[in-house]
């Protein structure tokens, strides 16, 4: 923490607390500073007094669009949804065995997963405090199960550490904490904290470091019972004549530093990734399907919007039936538009210059996910890894073990790559088959001798090549937020936008749903005032 320029910032403080104190201490500090509050969900909207015959056309049958349609119809509006895909859900989507997916450029994949197995190309986990998602999952009967984010038995790989051999998170985390605790203890003994803490406080802090860092009576992090209780044993406690445990030997701290294990700490510290997390039983797409049932009969699928006009006291949407090429028109009093901005910027839009500028100002990120079906759950049987994420410095960045179906026999799907930034565009430039092969090659660092041998088939989705989004999710920055955000979310005569791009919880389903509830509440008010 650099104090030369004055008092430390909150970011400085949180960084220091997180590095020295771990995830639980960091989150408590974030809560105290107001950074880890729950999402702003106060229950379903109260839309009363809708004028008889008032109508709304909703563009997009993603979660934001379907929620808008569901709540507006409950309020008494006549609602129609126009959707490009032939299914509900938008980015809330799972690919199952037998499914087919065609990306931009024409590459088509026929998914070969066994029955019940799936890849979630988009969202794949639900934080415990995303109250809107959880509320509607419960209301619409979506069964949830735990999603395992942090698994101490999962692996950390760095090509510059341990000769490129992956090591367990448990051992690396224990050795990191132990060595840092020893260093802090030495700082206290060297009177480096004089003037900051009293002698009595220093004694308390040393005792805390002894417990946290698993130090011995001489305040050293060494091989022994204390360190082994956390990092594991060479021979665990047992029964009979050989029941005595044998402690494991801590890694050399220089190798631990090279591993970059603190990056994994940061992954699990973020309040949106802290336990408990959830996933729908049977795939994330179960949410989209459940929402779809609530708006059954309202959705016109396979319809590509080409023009949005709001002149003449109504909204007229021109669209093309994708299957036949026939041009059609939908007309309503108002419009909720949830089309991703990269697509919307290419559609003729009758709106204010400010709204059009806002739509054009926000770029989208890219991401590539690869699902690898393995013949058996060898990671469970041989390494006792049940769910969780293993991290690497290779372009795939991570692999995630399935949180459902644990201890079962037969094939299972590993998330074999989750790439962002330049790596995602490199993957997107490959054919789907090349992406699968590359993910298999890079992921084999975690389970050499098993990963490739157990591989059955795979599927890869690059969001920059998705015809219905042209990207993963909106990427605001401080300048674009300041200049365009309020214009983007404002009711523009008879049109209002909704989706994750119209929220401060971008890239999450929660942001899409909250933006939808906010948008229809303001649109309803606008309709009552008309």
The whole-number pLDDT of residue 494 equals 98
Q: What is the pLDDT of residues 48-63, one digit of tens each?
A: 999 999 999 999 999 9
**CA separation (Å) from 224 to 175, 215, 227, 236, 249?**
12, 9, 6, 13, 8
Residue 6 has pLDDT above 90, yes or no: no
CA angle 227, 233, 234 (to 5 degrees): 130
Do both 73 and 27 map to the same domain? no
Q: Is 326 buried (19+), middle (13-18) or exposed (0-12) by CB count in 10 A?
A: exposed
The pLDDT of residue 16 is 46
| Residue with the larger pLDDT of the pair 246 and 13 | 246
Domain identity same for 348 and 326? yes
Residue at token pair 């997963």: 113
Give me the pLDDT at residue 190, please: 78
Residues 55 and 76: beta-carbon distance below 8 Å: no
Contact status, residue 39 vs residue 131, Cβ threshold 8 Å: yes
Distance CA(8)–CA(23), nearest Å, equals 20
Question: Would residue 490 count as lying in a domain?
Answer: yes
Residue 125 belongs to a domain = yes
Letter string b/e over residues 463-493, b meaning 16 or more CB atoms within 10 A of that residue's CB:
bbbbebbbbbbbebeeebeeebbebbbbbbb
The answer on pLDDT for 99 being more than 70 is: yes
Q: Which residues contact 284 (CB under 8 A, 6 or more apart)?
A: 92, 93, 94, 120, 122, 123, 124
Q: Is 237 found in the same domain as 211? A: yes
Neighbours of 306 (CB within 10 A): 13
Residue 188 lies in a domain: yes
Q: Which residues pair with 370 in a beta bridge?
A: 417, 460
* Residues 134 and 9 reside in one and the same domain: no
User: Any idea which of 92-101, 272-281, 448-457 has the lowest mean pLDDT?
Assistant: 272-281
Residue 235 is given by DSSP the state: E
- Alpha carbon 74 to chain centroid, angstroms: 31
Within this chain, do residues 315 and 241 fall inside the same structural domain, yes or no? no
First-to-last CA distance in the chain? 55
Whether residues 437 and 299 fall in one domain? no
Q: E-assigned strands of 215-346?
A: 233-235, 246-247, 277-280, 299-300, 303-309, 315-321, 327-332, 334-337
Q: What CATH number does the domain containing 302 carry?
A: 3.50.50.60
Domain boundary among 439, 465, 491: 465
The yes-or-no verdict on residue 5 having pLDDT over 60 is no
Residue partners of 305: CB distance under 8 A and separation at least 6: 59, 82, 84, 317, 318, 319, 339, 347
Mean pLDDT over 86-112 rounds to 98
Residue 264, in any domain of the structure: no
pLDDT band at 186 (very low <50, low <70, confident <90, very high): confident
Mean pLDDT calculated for residue range 179-196 = 80
**pLDDT digits 0-9 by tens, 374-384:** 999 999 999 99
Mean pLDDT in residue range 343-349: 98
Are 386 and 423 members of one domain? Answer: yes
| Average pLDDT for 486-500 | 98
Mean pLDDT of the chain: 91
**Is residue 59, in this structure, part of any structural domain at all?**
yes
Report the range of poorest mean pLDDT among 212-216, 264-268, 366-370, 394-398. Answer: 264-268
Residue 293 within a domain: yes
Domain containing residue 227: CATH number: 1.20.1440.240
- Confidence class of residue 38 from pLDDT cuts 50, 70 and 90? low
The mean per-residue pLDDT over the stretch 156-166 comes to 97
Alpha-carbon span 67 to 84, nearest angstrom:
17
> What is the model's pLDDT at position 237?
87
Question: What count of Cα atoms within 13 Å lies in the side-chain half-sphere of residue 30?
Answer: 21
187 and 255 fall within a common domain: yes
pLDDT score at 191: 73
Q: How many residues can be counted in the chain? A: 530
Between residues 251 and 204, the one the model is more confident about:
251
Position 193 confidence tier, pLDDT thresholds 50, 70, 90: low
For range 362-369, the mean pLDDT: 97
What pLDDT does residue 29 have?
40
* CA–CA gap between residue 419 and residue 409 (Å, rounded): 29
DSSP H/E element including 293? helix 285-294
pLDDT (mean) for 256-275: 85
Task: Please give the backbone phi and psi of residue 294, each rounded to the nearest 5 degrees, phi first.
Answer: -70, -25
**Domains in the chain: how many in total?**
4
Q: Give me the DSSP letters along 356-379.
A: HHHHHH--B--EEEEEEEESS-HH
What is the mean predicted confidence (pLDDT) over 368-393? 98
Q: Are residues 376 and 522 in the same domain?
A: no
Residue 15 φ then ψ, to 5°: -60, -50
pLDDT at 192: 65
Average the pLDDT over 141-166 and give the result.
97
Question: For residue 12, what pLDDT band results from cuts at 50, 70 and 90?
Answer: very low
CB hemisphere CA count around 416 (13 angstroms) = 30
Domain assignment of residue 42, yes or no = no
514 membership: H or E segment, kind and range: helix 509-529
Owning domain of residue 421: 95-153+275-283+365-465
pLDDT score of 36 more than 80: no
In the predicted model, is pLDDT for residue 195 greater than 80?
no
User: What average pLDDT does range 475-489 have in this prediction?
Assistant: 97
Any idea which residue has 């729950």 for tokens?
A: 38
Say yes or no: 424 and 485 in one domain: no
Query: 């769910």: which residue's tokens?
Result: 387
Looking at the fold, whether 175 and 241 belong to one and the same domain comes out as yes
* Domain presence at residue 45: no
Q: Which residues contact residue 297 at a Cβ distance below 8 angstroms, ignoring those fewer than 6 apart?
A: none
- CB–CB of 93/285 below 8 Å? yes
Residues 398 and 520 in one domain: no
* Contact indicator for 390, 154 with CB cutoff of 8 Å: yes
Query: How confident is the model over 257-273, as a mean pLDDT?
Result: 85
pLDDT of 196 above 80: no
């Amino acid at each position: 923490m650099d104090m030369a320029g004055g008092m430390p910032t909150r970011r400085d403080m949180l960084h220091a607390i997180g590095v020295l104190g771990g995830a639980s201490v960091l989150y408590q500090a974030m809560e105290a500073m107001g950074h880890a509050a729950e999402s702003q969900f106060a229950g379903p909207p109260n839309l009363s007094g809708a004028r008889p015959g008032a109508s709304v056309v909703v563009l997009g049958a993603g979660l934001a669009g379907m929620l808008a349609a569901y709540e507006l119809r409950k309020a008494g509006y006549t609602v129609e949804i126009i959707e490009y895909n032939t299914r509900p859900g938008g980015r809330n989507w799972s690919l199952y065995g037998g499914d087919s997916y065609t990306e931009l450029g024409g590459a088509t994949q026929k998914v070969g997963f066994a029955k019940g197995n799936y890849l979630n190309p988009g969202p794949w986990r639900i934080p415990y405090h995303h109250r809107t998602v959880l509320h509607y999952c419960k209301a619409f009967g979506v069964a949830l199960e735990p999603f395992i984010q942090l698994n101490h038995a999962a692996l950390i790989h760095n090509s510059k550490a341990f000769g490129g051999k992956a090591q367990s998170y448990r051992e690396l985390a224990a050795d990191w904490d132990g060595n840092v605790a020893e260093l802090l203890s030495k700082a206290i003994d060297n009177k480096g904290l004089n003037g900051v803490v009293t002698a009595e406080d220093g004694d308390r802090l040393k005792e805390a470091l002894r417990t946290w860092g698993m130090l011995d009576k001489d305040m050293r992090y060494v091989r022994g019972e204390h360190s082994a209780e956390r990092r594991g044993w060479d021979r665990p406690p047992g029964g009979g004549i050989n029941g005595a445990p044998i402690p494991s030997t801590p890694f050399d701290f220089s190798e631990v530093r090279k591993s970059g294990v603190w990056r994994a700490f940061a992954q699990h510290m973020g309040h949106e990734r802290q336990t408990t997390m959830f996933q729908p039983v049977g795939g994330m797409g179960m949410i989209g399907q459940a929402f779809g049932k609530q708006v059954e009969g309202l959705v016109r699928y396979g319809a590509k919007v080409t023009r949005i006009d709001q002149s003449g006291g109504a909204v007229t949407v021109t669209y093309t039936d994708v299957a036949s090429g026939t041009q059609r028109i939908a007309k309503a009093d108002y419009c909720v538009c949830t089309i991703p901005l990269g697509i919307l910027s290419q559609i003729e839009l009758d709106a204010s210059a400010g709204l059009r500028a806002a739509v054009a100002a926000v770029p989208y990120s890219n991401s590539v996910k690869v699902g690898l079906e393995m013949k058996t759950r060898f990671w469970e049987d041989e390494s006792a890894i049940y769910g969780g994420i293993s991290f690497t410095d290779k372009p795939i960045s991570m692999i995630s073990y399935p949180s459902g179906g644990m201890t079962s026999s037969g094939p299972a799907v590993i998330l074999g790559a989750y790439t962002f930034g330049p790596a995602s565009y490199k993957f997107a430039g490959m054919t789907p088959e090349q992406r699968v092969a590359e993910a298999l090659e890079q992921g084999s660092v975690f389970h050499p001798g098993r990963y490739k041998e157990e591989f059955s088939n795979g599927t890869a989705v690059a969001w920059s090549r998705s015809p219905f989004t042209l990207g993963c999710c909106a990427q605001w920055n401080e300048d674009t937020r300041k200049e365009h955000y309020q214009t983007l979310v404002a009711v523009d005569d008879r049109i209002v936008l909704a989706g994750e791009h119209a929220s401060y919880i971008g890239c999450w389903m929660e942001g899409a749903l909250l933006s939808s509830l906010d948008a229809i509440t303001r649109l309803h008010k606008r309709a009552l005032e008309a």
